[in-house]
Structure 1
Amino acid sequence: MISRSKRLAVLLAGLFLAFSMVAMDQAEARRGGSFGSRGMRTFQSVPPTRTAPQPAAPVERSMTPNAGTNNTARQTQAFQRPGFLSGLGGSMMRGLLLGGLIGVLLGQGFGGLAGIFGLLLQALLMGGAIMLAVRLFRSQSVHNQGPAVAGVPRSMGNLGRGAAAQPDTGDVAAFPIPGIGSAFGGTTQANASDEITLSQPDLDTFQQRLTEVQEAFGREDHAALRRVVTPEMVSYLSEELADNAKKGVRNDVSDVSLLEADIAESWREDDRDYATAALRYESRDVTRDRVSGKIVAGQADRPTETTELWTFTRQNGGDWKLAAIQQP
């Protein structure tokens, strides 16, 4: 049998280990996860590629509203809407019955019971009138909304272009990375009107953005971040930088080198283009104490390898900016 003092010691040791693990996790500078916006495809799965054959994690933080979730919630609420007897009508009926029962118990006898029946009749007549008015109001509302587009909820009637079929997950071509020997020949996706073809300068820009974003984040250069990422991504990255400052650490990223890349999909929505690329790269990524410069996480003597999905966007043929990051 383990003595009480030994059990207490084991419990305290376990708690100390748990809090130590939490502290180590909080020391990590990069929060990771999947965040940003991919237009109409924000909450759709990204086709697998040779670089990222595993399914990507869904977007966890985004300013793009999830129409599918909102519609499901509305349908659930409509299905669970209480009936007349469960709402005000039910409260009235229960109150009348309880009042009548109390009247009988207090000695009013069958005269009080007859009064109950009269009140019940009045309540039923009132309930019938209310239900008739509610049904009439609903029928007029449905008539004013007009017919819904086939296969598209009424709330998405003007967003039909976002319901494009999932692209084919066939072979996709890789970036022409120096030293890798792979050639870019365009993505093999479903023939949809909103699919676009990327050129070599676009791919060179994506590779350049990878280095620019990582190094700007490491320098905590907010002005540089605003030039190469969307305002939404600026807010997320600035939040992480603020958390690092609060913890007294900073993220030091250097020697970023792209090893392999694939285009998962590229498409157009109105006047805005999107392209999601799977990027496998290596970098020297460490966390340092802001005062002493001492490394508190990571290893500076050797680079680490990372694979992520980066979505870029541009408007009216402007500069490509980072719009989302997803973890495979």
Structure 2
Amino acid sequence: MGFSYRARGIVQAIAVVLSLALPLISAASPADARVGGGFSSGSRGSRTFSAPPSTSTAPRTAQPFNRTFSQPGSPGIGTSAGGGFFNRPGGGMLRGFAAGFLGAGLLGLLFGGSLFGGLGGLSSLLGLILQIGLIVFVVRMAMSWWQRRSTPAYADTAAGGSGGASNFRTGTGFGLGSGLGSGSAPLQIMPADYEAFERLLGEIQDAWSNEDVARLHVLATPEMVSYFNRDLDANRARNVVNKVSGTKLLQGDLAEAWREGDTDFASVAMRYSLIDKTLDRVSGRLVEGSEQPMEVTEIWTFLRPRGANWELSAIQQT
């Protein structure tokens, strides 16, 4: 009877611990295969940590960056993408911290102790609740400390006084207008600039599909190319190739534009369609994706050094 009661208690404890652990530890899920992998990657100058203003094309707030050189404490391109504090697949400091606590607790249960065998043999339900509460408290304290540590002093507000495009058109590309960066010199975005953004959208997708890294270096910043290279290497390791075709801009408008020193920045919301297929590198068999076009809405940030052309600086999911 005692053994049965104890076994039932262990099973219940494991169920409770796992139910608490699942929201904390993010599981890896398949990413979109198109350029950027469906992650938020890159940098937006001094506004990397400020969300671009919402627009008619992208009314929802842009996701924070999973991969960026600008993030304080970030290991750069070694940061796994996955969103939020718990990045996948390698995980962050807090993920490992929480996993260590939970792993120790489960081992203690399986080997006849309580959740933490060294805490005086608390095996009652009350003891279990107290110990789980301790885990949650420590994890939350660690998260709060890390968020305070990672918040840059110069990060301005998301709205920042910037306006979206003053005119908006659907089905014919970008709405034309200008955005003013808060506290920055005014920057007028002209029709030729919108044409360059639309052209870059297609050319970058084509270069990615052809695994043309040299071409990507012309179209994007070294930081973005480092992420593209990493994703291409992951495809090669899986013996697959991602083929993107039929890229077509459906709708777009300006979120904000500003100038930092000799560099111009423009963040634009784009809704576009494309055919996204991942094929076996040898047989050509369809592994992921579809022959049917899919629609994507993302915010692309471009930068332009004085006297040079626009190049991709960041992609953010919405």
Q: 1:175 to 1:66 in 2, by over 3 A?
A: farther
Give the alignment partner of residue 172 of structure 1, picking from 139, 142, 165. Answer: 165
Deviation at 1:32, TM superposition (A): 1.8
Matching of residues 78-117 of structure 1 within 5 Å: none
Look up the SS of the partner of 1:237 in the other structure.
helix
SS in 2 for 1:52: coil
Cα distance change, pair 292–173 in 1 and its aligned pair in 2 (3 A): farther
Residue equivalent to 1:241: 232
Query: Hey, what's the Cα distance between the residues in 2 that align with 1:277 and 1:304?
Result: 20
- In the other structure, the counterpart of 1:44 is 50
In the TM superposition, 1:61-80 aligns within 5 A as 61-66=67-72
**Aligned-pair distance for 1:24?**
8.2
Amino acid at match of 1:33: F
Residue-pair matches, total? 213
2: CA distance, partners of 1:235 / 1:190: 28
Which residue does 1:198 correspond to in 2? 189
Counterpart of 1:297 in structure 2 is 288
Change (3 A) 1:174 1:288: farther
**What's the offset of the Cα at 1:298?**
1.1
Equivalent-residue separation in structure 1 for 2:201 and 2:270 (angstroms): 9
Checking the alignment, whether the CA contact within 8 Å between 2:160 and 2:181 is kept in structure 1 is yes
- Relative to structure 1, the CA distance from residue 227 to residue 28 in structure 2 (aligned partners, 3 Å threshold; closer, same or farther) is closer
8 A contact 2:161–2:182 mirrored in 1: no
Determine which of 286, 291, 306 is the counterpart of 1:316: 306
Q: How big is the shift at 1:66?
A: 3.3
Map of 2:127 onto structure 1: none
8 A contact 1:43–1:66 mirrored in 2: no
Q: For the structure 1 residues 182 and 204, does the alpha-carbon distance in structure 2 shift closer, same or farther, using more than 3 Å as the test?
A: closer
Root mean square deviation of aligned Cα: 2.9
CA deviation profile, 1:173-213 (whole Å, cap 9, x unmatched): 45767x538751323x5774423111111110000000011
Structure 1 equivalent of residue 136 of structure 2: none
Which of the pair has more CA radius of gyration?
1
In the TM superposition, 1:133-282 aligns within 5 A as 166-168=159-161, 172-173=165-166, 180=172, 183-187=175-179, 189=180, 192-282=183-273
| 1:270 CA displacement | 0.7
1:183–1:321 Cα change, 3 Å = closer
What is the CA–CA distance in structure 1 between the aligned matches of 2:175 and 2:57, rounded to whole Å?
Answer: 14
In structure 2, what is the equivalent of residue 58 of structure 1? 64
TM-aligned CA distance change 1:170 to 1:222, over 3 Å: closer
Change (3 A) 1:26 1:194: closer
Q: 1:23 to 1:63 in 2, by over 3 A?
A: closer
CA distance in 1, matches of 2:158, 2:238: 45
Identity %: 40
Cα pair 2:34 2:276 within 8 Å, conserved = no
Structure 1 residue matching 2:232: 3-state secondary structure: helix
Q: In the superposition, relative to structure 1, how do residues 190 and 40 fare at CA in structure 2: closer, same or farther (>3 Å)?
A: closer
Distance of aligned partners of 1:164 and 1:271 in 2 relative to their CA distance in 1, 3 Å threshold: farther
Please tell me whether the aligned partners of residues 288 and 297 of structure 1 are also in contact (alpha carbons under 8 angstroms).
Answer: yes
One-letter code aligned to 2:62: A
Gap runs ≥5 in structure 1: 1-21, 68-155
* Superposition map of 1:115-130 within 5 A: none
C-alpha separation between the residues in 2 aligned to 1:39 and 1:182?
23
How far residue 39 of structure 1 moved from its aligned partner, in angstroms, is: 0.4
* 1:327 CA displacement: 0.2
Report the counterpart of residue 124 of structure 1 in structure 2.
none
Instruction: Report if the CA contact (8 A) 1:47-1:168 is conserved.
Output: no
Cα 1:294/1:277, change in 2 over 3 Å = same
- TM-score, normalised to structure 1, is 0.59
Q: Within 2, Cα distance between the matches of 1:191 and 1:243?
A: 39
Hey, what's the Cα distance between the residues in 2 that align with 1:25 and 1:233?
Answer: 20
- 290 and 282 in structure 1: CA distance in 2 versus 1, 3 angstrom threshold: same
The amino acid that maps onto 2:306 is: N
Shift of the 25–163 alpha-carbon distance from structure 1 to 2, 3 Å rule, reads closer
Contact persistence 1:27–1:296 (CA under 8 A): no
- 1:203 is aligned with what amino acid? Y
Higher helix share: 1
Gaps of 5+ in 2: 1-26, 74-151
Letter in 2 for 1:186: S
TM-score between both structures, scaled by the size of structure 2: 0.60
